[in-house]
Amino acid sequence: MASLTVPEGNLITPEIIQTRSKSSVSDLQSRTGHSVSPDYNLTPQTMCPAFGSLRVLTRIDGVQTAMVTDTGCLYGLTFVTHFYAARKSIAAPAFGTKELVAGNVAEAAIAACIEASKMPGTKLVAAISLCVAETAGLTEEMLPKQINGVDVILVRVPAYAIHSHPEAKDVAINALLKRYAPAQTEITADGVERPLTYDGSNEEEEALRRKVIMLGEVFPADPISVDAVLKRLGSGLAATLPSRNLDDYKLARRVGAIAAVHPFYGGSVATLRAAGVPIISGAPVGPEATYNWIKAVAAALKLDGELAEQVAAEERDKCKAIISQFPLRGRVMVCGYEGNELLYARLLVEAGAEVPYISTSIQKSLYTAADEAWLKARGTREIIYQKTLEQDVRALDRYQPDLVLGTTPLSAEAKQRGIPGMYYTNMLSVRPLFLSAGLAGTIQLIRDALERAPRYAWMREFFEGPRPPAPAGPAPINTMD
């Protein structure tokens, strides 16, 4: 066993194997008093990465998708897209051995694009190239830029190279930005190419320059409350990306700043930054981050500093008032695959909850650093990037949480142990999060979930019998010291 060598990033680690072999199934069973599936092993935890791109693209009005892949993948992705993303029919070429042997990958992709472009009102066809097509070698040059007057873009999201569902959203948006908001450059007198700057001669353009585009998939009520706050600063929200409106992507280089509220839009941020658009990171979640975020926007846009201080302080105080009225008590594990887990954890911590463990499917990056430092300074013991299900399940043993916000298998495991559990994606992404308005709703949801604990215990006991006396398990961890 010790001789196993594991390439970096591979999810089967010797550590996992050793832990599992040391604490055998029967061992676990006697500790927890019920059957722990012996099969929670060696299973990574993220939605198929490509779905991130599909979700973003199928939701845009006037965009039709053509998926270039094998039937198994196509079946699964069509299912989740129809269920989670949009009620939009999806075109594809048949893509099996016959087609691969014939080598007409590009022709097949083009044929599907033509079919996709037939829908009335189509403005853009996104050809989504997945594992098998990528392996067969479908390149950008093989696709025409337009078919029958409809724009065509290639979005390359093989699951073996894009490691998480949120990061595939970034790939899709970046592809749109590159096509719809191309860098406008000018050559200066000394022959240097630099981003074209606005000269202030157009009023509409001037107004846009004072506005912000928010980059991050958020609940529809959030942009409304953010816009209201920004308006008080003399600014406003020009759009939120991903947007359902293709035109919104065209604004991306014309606004005063981009607020990247989620940390995984690395590619899009790099594209925009290279074009000279200022980037604001972090998000207005919880009192402190809300205060900082509003001030950061004002600074990036060079708005009135005193006014910004006043608005930021007011919003922070509203948040604090809500928290003092409805404080959270309890230990919560935050384990999603959406990439915004650190934001939620910040909010919960500021509201009084203990969040010892956070895990996400995205990679650690420059954009996660600030939140990570903040959380670690406030009692978070572990933050796991590109996590596996095994790591999350072991954390359940270690931290004995009162509530689990997790992926489906993890939430199921929590419920099986009689612990309240909620599927992170379904329950949290469907309500506002930002500013004081988002704070109130989120806290209420978490409080309700914590209060439902007896039902989870009752249900567990009904199905799995009474619990044996508690074993001498790991000592409770006080993370608030």
Partner 1 sequence: MTALNDLPNRAPAADQSRAPIELIRDLESTSGYWAAVWTMCTLPDVHLICDAPIGCFNLVATAVPDYTDAIPHIHNITPSVMREQEVTLLGTAGAVRRAVEALRSLHPDKTLIVVSTAESEMISSDHSDWLSKLDPPVPFFWSQSLEGDEWEGRDRALLWLWDRFGRKRAAPLSANDAQMVNIIGPTYGCFNSPADLHEVKRLIEGAGGKVNLVYPFEATLEDTPRLSRGAVNVVMYREFGEALAKELGRPYLFAPLGIRETTEFIQQLGDLLGTRAQADAFIAREKQTTLAPLWDLWRGPQGDWFATTEFAVVAGRSYTEGLVRLLADELGMKLHFASGRPRRLGEMDNIQIRETLHKKQPAFLFGSLNEKIYLTEAQAKATHFIPAAFPGAVVRRALGTPFMGYSGVVYIVQEMVNRYYDLVFNFLPFDNVAAAGQPKAADNPLTAASRLVWSEAARAQLDRHLEGIPWISRISASRELRAQVEVYAIKHNLREVTPDIVEQALAATATQR
Considering only residues 379 through 408, tell me which ones interact with partner 1, judged by CB under 8 A: 408
Name the CA dihedral angle for 367, 368, 371, 374, rounded to a multiple of 10 degrees.
Answer: -110
Which residues are 382's β-sheet partners?
357
Cα–Cα distance measured from residue 166 to residue 260, given in angstroms and rounded to the nearest whole number: 13
- CB of residue 45 to partner 1, shortest distance in Å: 8
User: Does residue number 463 form part of the binding site for partner 1 (CB under 8 A)?
Assistant: no
- CB of residue 43 to partner 1, shortest distance in Å: 6
> Which residue, 17 or 246, has its beta carbon nearer to partner 1?
17
- CB of residue 161 to partner 1, shortest distance in Å: 5
Cα–Cα distance measured from residue 173 to residue 241, given in angstroms and rounded to the nearest whole number: 8
- Picking from 415, 423, 382, the residue whose alpha carbon sits closest to that of residue 399 is 382
- CB of residue 50 to partner 1, shortest distance in Å: 6
> Which residue, 229 or 396, has its beta carbon nearer to partner 1?
396
> Which residue, 110 or 311, has its beta carbon nearer to partner 1?
110
Under rule CB under 8 A, which residues in 128-157 are in contact with partner 1? Answer: 130-132, 135-136, 142, 144, 147-148
How many residues contact partner 1, by CB under 8 A?
82
Phi then psi for residue 388, to 5 deg, are: -115, 160
The two tokens of residue 240 are: 């939120």
Q: Which of 55, 57, 138, 163 binds partner 1 (CB under 8 A)?
A: 163
- CB of residue 62 to partner 1, shortest distance in Å: 14
Q: Which of 23, 34, 104, 122 binds partner 1 (CB under 8 A)?
A: 104
Cα–Cα distance measured from residue 159 to residue 60, given in angstroms and rounded to the nearest whole number: 22
Binding mask 34-73 for partner 1 (x = CB under 8 A): ---xxxxxxxxxxxxxxx-----------------xxxxx
> Which residue, 44 or 441, has its beta carbon nearer to partner 1?
44
- Picking from 212, 182, 209, the residue whose alpha carbon sits closest to that of residue 198 is 209
Q: Which stretch binds partner 1 (CB under 8 A): 160-168, 177-185, 221-229, 365-373?
A: 160-168
Contact between residue 14 and residue 21 where contact means Cβ atoms under 8 Å apart? no
The two tokens of residue 317 are: 């105080």
Q: Which stretch binds partner 1 (CB under 8 A): 100-108, 195-203, 215-223, 319-327?
A: 100-108
- CB of residue 110 to partner 1, shortest distance in Å: 5
> Which residue, 162 or 395, has its beta carbon nearer to partner 1?
162
Q: Which of 62, 276, 352, 409 binds partner 1 (CB under 8 A)?
A: 409
- CB of residue 118 to partner 1, shortest distance in Å: 10
Under rule CB under 8 A, which residues in 270-299 are in contact with partner 1? Answer: none
Contact between residue 436 and residue 315 where contact means Cβ atoms under 8 Å apart? yes
Peptide bond into 476 cis (omega under 30): no
Indicate the length of the chain as a whole number. Answer: 481
Q: Which of 28, 74, 173, 218 binds partner 1 (CB under 8 A)?
A: 74
- CB of residue 364 to partner 1, shortest distance in Å: 17
Cα–Cα distance measured from residue 110 to residue 148, given in angstroms and rounded to the nearest whole number: 11
Which residues are 404's β-sheet partners?
333, 421
- CB of residue 44 to partner 1, shortest distance in Å: 5
Q: Which stretch binds partner 1 (CB under 8 A): 76-84, 261-269, 280-288, 468-476?
A: 76-84
Cα–Cα distance measured from residue 106 to residue 114, given in angstroms and rounded to the nearest whole number: 12
Q: Largest Cα–Cα distance in the chain?
A: 81
Could you tell me the strand order of the sheet in which 382-384 lies? 382-384, 354-359, 331-335, 403-406, 421-423
> Which residue, 20 or 250, has its beta carbon nearer to partner 1?
20
The CB density around residue 45, as the number of other CB atoms within 10 Å, is 25
The two tokens of residue 348 are: 């919960």
- Picking from 292, 268, 290, 291, the residue whose alpha carbon sits closest to that of residue 279 is 268
C-alpha dist (Å) from residue 382 to 369, 371, 378: 14, 13, 12
- CB of residue 133 to partner 1, shortest distance in Å: 9
Q: Which of 111, 384, 450, 477 binds partner 1 (CB under 8 A)?
A: 111
Q: Which of 15, 27, 61, 107 binds partner 1 (CB under 8 A)?
A: 107
- Picking from 226, 236, 232, 288, the residue whose alpha carbon sits closest to that of residue 257 is 236
- CB of residue 365 to partner 1, shortest distance in Å: 18
Q: Which stretch binds partner 1 (CB under 8 A): 95-103, 248-256, 352-360, 441-449?
A: 95-103
What 3 state SS string does 212-250 have?
EEEECCCCCHHHHHHHHHHHHCCCCEEEEECCCCHHHHH
- CB of residue 152 to partner 1, shortest distance in Å: 10
> Which residue, 7 or 191, has its beta carbon nearer to partner 1?
7
**Which DSSP state fits 446?**
H
Could you tell me the strand order of the sheet in which 279-281 lies? 237-241, 212-215, 257-260, 279-281
Q: Which stretch binds partner 1 (CB under 8 A): 112-120, 338-346, 371-379, 438-446?
A: 112-120
